[in-house]
Amino acid sequence: MVSIAQIREAIKNSGAAINAETMPIDVAFAELGLDSLDRFNIFLEIEVILGKEIPDEDIEKIQTVRSLVQYINGAQ
């Protein structure tokens, strides 16, 4: 299981130009100014933490922090 706090930590580690601690969890990454390259980096941080790959075909389903948590926890 992954927590929202872990996701925030991963976003912080990715170096994305956003305050990971205060970013809303239900607003789409794109609306928060995170582009596809930011998302690649965030997903990679998560993959390293989990030791598990998020398949390319699932990427488009994951648009918010909450959906990322739900995806990972549902997939485990």
Partner 1 sequence: MIGLKSIAIYIPQDFVDNIKQGRYFNETEEYIRKRIGAVKLPRKAVQEETSDMSVSAIRNLLAKTHLSVEDIDALVVVTQNGDGSGLPHTSAIVQDKSGLPRTMAAFDISLGCSGYVYGLTILKGFLEASGLKNGILVTADPYSKVIDSGDKATSLLFGDAASATWIGEDAAWNIMPPVYHTNGKGAPNLCVRDGILKMNGRQIFNFAVLNMPAQIRQILDRENMAEEDIDAYILHQGSAAMLDVLSKKFPRVCDRFIIHMDETGNTVCSSIPILLERMIDSPGARSILVGGFGVGLSTATTIISRERS
Question: Least CB distance from residue 46 to partner 1, whole Å?
Answer: 12
Question: Least CB distance from residue 45 to partner 1, whole Å?
Answer: 10
Q: Which of 65, 61, 60 is nearest to 29 (CA)?
A: 65
Question: Least CB distance from residue 34 to partner 1, whole Å?
Answer: 11
For the chain, what's the residue count? 76
Pinpoint the alpha helices (H) of 1-76. Answer: 4-14, 36-50, 56-59, 65-75
Write out the binding residues for partner 1, residues 17-46 only, by CB under 8 A: 35-37, 40-41, 43-44
Of 1 and 55, which CB lies nearer to partner 1 in the complex structure? Answer: 55
